[in-house]
């Protein structure tokens, strides 16, 4: 997810979108991660046979295709476990004037042909030098000079990280971003105006394996996953690439074998996108639904394919209204609720929650202040 008005983004990974094949990454040499008995995919689902080389001296990873249905539900080993040791999240290890030079591992389109716009899953190799926690963001400084400040670099664009602290290769050396290419169309001519396109999102989506990228951060504490109660309820609401941090949460909850975090609560994801081709991580989320029906719920709002009860387009707030009684009861019992995505989603959601609260004879303003006071309310919109 991008937190800049200029570029919109977020993160994607394995298994992805509507792809029906998974790629599996097998490491050689001394890597402590073995996938022989862990059939989860750790690189993106690809249409063609691919070999990704990450620093030839360190790893090579070969793509092996297999269907989601064939994978077992055993969890993946992760390392280094020392990433669990710090009591506080890493913050601003690298600043704009002293950014970290990372490498692009892969860039893959992760939406179908009928999706409006293009969204890419981008894996970045930070070699373990830029650790982060789930729910944090990286800053990206695109190459070139700032047109508003000749001679100065571009401003930093923030993107929510879409992987766990162990990354898509489960070795603590990569991070993933889910980036929607920001394209501007002239309202009068209807034609694309490249001079007004999102600088950073286009740089990221056009990147090639091996390209260098300047990173700052990590930043952010608002969207950190509270883990003091492993049986808590987490209600996650996203539009588009705002699903990025939730992908990290869910991989940590259901995919990775993390010794000190055994999730036994409820994770409930609401995702709003335009159509089926726009769904992000759908195979991955669907697998959690199949393997953990007691602990995961997944509701989609497809605005161009579904109607709400009033006959209008189905947006994420309509889904929230549909389950409002249940959501309010869960909040009353201490559930955490998260919002991530375009800024424009919040007014509609707030209006819906206010209306539902009033129908229940409650004051929404009072309830909201209580949720904030209890640290149950987490919002990051862009």
Binding-site entries: 160, 180, 241, 303-304, 313, 341-342, 380
Which is the catalytic residue, given 132, 281, 315, 382?
382
CA distance 268 to 266: 6
Judge whether 340 counts as a catalytic residue: yes
CB half-sphere exposure, 104, CA atoms < 13 A: 20
Residues 6+ apart with CB under 8 A from 34: 77
The token duo for 153 is: 């670099």
Question: Exposure of 191 by Cβ count < 10 A (0-12 exposed, 13-18 middle, 19+ buried)?
Answer: exposed
Location of structure tokens 């996650």? 236
Location of structure tokens 């969890």? 75
Which is the catalytic residue, given 160, 163, 176, 207?
160
Judge whether 382 counts as a catalytic residue: yes
Which is the catalytic residue, given 159, 166, 249, 281?
159
Judge whether 380 counts as a catalytic residue: yes
CA distance 380 to 36: 38
Q: Please give the annotated binding residues for NADP(+), written as ranges.
A: 160, 180, 241, 303-304, 313, 341-342, 380
Judge whether 159 counts as a catalytic residue: yes
Number of residues that this document lists for the chain: 382
- Beta strands, E only, the chain: 8-9, 22-24, 51-54, 59-62, 64-66, 76-77, 100-109, 119-125, 137-141, 157-160, 174-180, 212-219, 233-239, 256-257, 266-273, 296-302, 336-341, 377-381
Question: CB of 108 within 8 A of CB of 179?
Answer: no
Residues catalogued as catalytic: 159-160, 340, 380, 382
């Amino acid at each position: 997810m991008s937190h800049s008005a200029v570029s919109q983004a977020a993160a994607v990974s394995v298994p992805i979108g509507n792809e029906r094949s998974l790629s599996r990454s097998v490491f050689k040499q001394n890597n402590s991660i073995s996938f022989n008995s862990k059939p989860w995919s750790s690189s993106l689902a690809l249409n063609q046979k691919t070999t990704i080389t990450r620093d030839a001296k360190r790893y090579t990873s070969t793509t092996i295709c297999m269907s989601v249905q064939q994978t077992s539900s055993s969890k993946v080993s992760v390392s280094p476990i020392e990433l669990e040791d710090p009591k506080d999240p890493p913050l601003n290890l690298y600043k704009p004037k002293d950014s970290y030079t990372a490498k692009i591992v892969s860039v893959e389109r992760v939406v179908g042909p009928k999706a409006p716009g293009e969204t890419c899953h981008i894996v970045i190799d930070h070699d373990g030098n830029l650790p982060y926690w789930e729910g944090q963001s990286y800053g990206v400084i695109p190459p070139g000079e700032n047109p508003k400040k000749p001679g100065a670099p571009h401003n930093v664009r923030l993107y929510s990280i879409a992987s766990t602290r162990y990354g898509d290769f489960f070795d603590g050396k990569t991070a993933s971003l889910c980036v929607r290419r920001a394209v501007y169309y002239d309202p009068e001519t209807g034609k694309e105006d490249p001079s007004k396109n999102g600088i950073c999102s286009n740089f990221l989506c056009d990147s090639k394996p091996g390209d260098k990228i300047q990173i700052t951060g990590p930043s952010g504490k608002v969207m950190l996953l509270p883990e003091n109660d492993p049986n808590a309820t987490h209600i996650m609401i996203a539009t588009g690439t705002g699903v990025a941090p939730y992908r990290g949460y869910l991989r940590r909850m259901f995919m990775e074998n993390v010794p000190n975090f055994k999730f036994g609560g409820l994770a409930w994801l609401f995702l709003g996108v335009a159509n089926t081709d726009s769904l992000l991580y759908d195979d991955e989320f669907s697998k959690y639904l199949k393997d953990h029906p007691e602990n995961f719920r997944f509701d989609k709002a497809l605005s161009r394919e579904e109607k709400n009860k009033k006959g209008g387009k189905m947006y994420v707030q309509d889904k929230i209204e549909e389950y409002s009684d249940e959501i309010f009861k869960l909040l009353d019992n201490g559930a955490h609720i998260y919002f991530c995505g375009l800024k424009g989603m919040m007014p509609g959601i707030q209006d819906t929650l206010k209306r539902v609260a009033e129908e229940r004879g409650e004051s929404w303003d009072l309830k909201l202040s209580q949720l904030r006071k209890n640290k149950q309310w987490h919002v990051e919109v862009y």
